[in-house]
Chains A and B, each alone.
Chain A
Amino acid sequence: GQNIDQPTEMTATEGAIVQINCTYQTSGFNGLFWYQQHAGEAPTFLSYNVLDGLEEKGRFSSFLSRSKGYSYLLLKELQMKDSASYLCAVRDGGNTGKLIFGQGTTLQVKP
């Protein structure tokens, strides 16, 4: 079966670092995506990993270990505007382009 797990909620302090974990068990794998979604808004693309290792984009980094079925999103120098849900999604095997989403992690940044 297809299963993607993320913590439901996290809280962190402005200026701090937070790590959001995602574990997956899927029948196929063509990469892992992270999306950010503010309440009531559309998900927006943050990062993509297909090879093991760390991808860095400014304050955000994403890590992938395919052998462990594990990824994390690291947010540095947290800002209040980072309060949002973070969605982990695995791209299905084959050529369908389909994404399988986890339930999302709601991050609250406090002053």
Chain B
Amino acid sequence: DADVTQTPRNRITKTGKRIMLECSQTKGHDRMYWYRQDPGLGLRLIYYSFDVKDINKGEISDGYSVSRQAQAKFSLSLESAIPNQTALYFCATSDFRTGYQETQYFGPGTRLLVL
């Protein structure tokens, strides 16, 4: 079974709708991240969380919110979806205890299309 899972894998929604993307991990990692990927722009950080009570904005948090329901679960919400939020969304996890070589491990991604 995959260590980092994302649901749904694909989603089509309409402008103005609220949607939630979910991420679960079985790696036992404390840190979790949400990124979006757009062609030519690379991966950009939306939100990150060091533990259940510690949530931080990334470089492009406007229009998004998150919830860390448990150490293993981190959800991303689009309160009112707009077409320029069409992108590939990745969740990632990392283990603070590994020190400098703290590596991020990515889920399979959610492809979102906002019409």
Q: Are A45 and B103 in contact (CB under 8 A)?
A: yes
State in angstroms the CA–CA spacing of A8 and B58 once bound together.
24
Tally of chain B residues near chain A (CB < 8 A): 25
Q: Are A103 and B41 in contact (CB under 8 A)?
A: yes
Identify the interface centre among B58, B104, B105, B109: most chain A CB within 10 Å of its CB: B104
Q: Are A33 and B45 in contact (CB under 8 A)?
A: no
> Which of B42, B45, B90 makes the CB contact (< 8 A) with A42?
B90
Q: Are B42 and A99 in contact (CB under 8 A)?
A: no
State in angstroms the CA–CA spacing of A31 and B102 once bound together.
10
Q: Is A63 an interface residue (CB 8 A)?
A: no
State in angstroms the CA–CA spacing of A43 and B92 once bound together.
10
State in angstroms the CA–CA spacing of A77 and B35 once bound together.
32
Counted as pairs of residues, one from A and one from B, with CB atoms less than 8 Å apart, the total is 54
Interface residues on A, range: 20 to 34
CB distance from B33 to the nearest CB of A (A): 8
Identify the interface centre among B90, B102, B105, B106: most chain A CB within 10 Å of its CB: B102
Q: Is B84 an interface residue (CB 8 A)?
A: no
Find the A residue at minimum CB distance from B109: A42
Q: Are B100 and A97 in contact (CB under 8 A)?
A: no
Q: Is A98 an interface residue (CB 8 A)?
A: yes
Which residues between 15 and 64 of chain A lie within 8 Å of chain B, taking CB atoms? 30-31, 33, 40-45, 48, 50
Binding site for A on B (CB under 8 A): 4, 31, 40-45, 48, 58, 88, 90, 94, 96, 100-109, 111
A-B contact pairs, 12 of them (CB 8 A): A33-B103, A40-B109, A41-B108, A42-B108, A45-B105, A48-B101, A87-B43, A91-B102, A97-B94, A97-B96, A99-B104, A103-B40
